[in-house]
Amino acid sequence: MDVEFRAYAAFERELIADLVPHIESRYSVEANREHRALAGLSMGGGQSLNFGLANIDTFAWVGGFSSAPNTMPPAQLLKDPAAARQRLKLLWVSCGDQDTLFNISQNVHTYLTEQKVPHTWHIDIGGAHTFPVWKNNLYHLSTLLFR
C-alpha cells in the first residue's frame, strides 16, 4: 500500500476511534449516526466520501465538494449500495463545472445514479476549484442537514 494511502487509513481509524468519541465526551452533542455529518472540500472532499461512505454506521450525512483524486473509484467507495440506500440521510456530491477535478465528482454521481443511491448532485455553473464554490455548497448542504 502506498504511503499516502496508509496515512489516509490511519487518519480514518483516528477519526472514528478517537476524534468522534473525544468530541462526544466533551461536548453536548447527540451521540448517534443520525446526528453526525462529515463533509469536506478538495482533498477533504475525497476523504469525506471515502470515510463517510465506508462508515455509514457512524455517519448518516456525507458531503464531498470538488473531491480530489484521493477519492476511491466509485465501486470501491460504495461497496454496499443497498445499505447506503437505506441508511444515508443525505449524500451530497458537488463540483464547479470549470474545476479540473470535475470528472471525479461526475464519476461518483454516475455510479450513484446507476446504483439508485439517492444523492444530491450539485454543479456550480462557471465554478472552478475555488472558495466561492465551496462556500456556496456548504451553505446549500447546511440547509439540508439534520432534518
| pLDDT score of 34 | 95
**Alpha carbon separation from 90 to 58, 84, 128 (Å, rounded):** 13, 10, 24
CA dihedral defined by 115, 59, 62, 49, rounded to 10 degrees?
-70
Residues of the chain with pLDDT under 50: none
| pLDDT score of 4 | 62
Say yes or no: domain 32-142 is CATH 3.40.50.1820: yes
Domain ranges of the chain: 32-142
Q: What is the mean pLDDT of the chain?
A: 93
| pLDDT score of 88 | 97
| pLDDT score of 73 | 84
| pLDDT score of 2 | 64
| Amino acid residing at 86 | Q
Residue count (the chain): 147
Q: Decide: 20 and 57 in contact? Cβ < 8 Å.
A: no
**Which ranges of 20-130 does DSSP label H, i.e. alpha helix?**
20-26, 43-54, 74-77, 81-87, 102-114
| pLDDT score of 102 | 97
| pLDDT score of 3 | 60
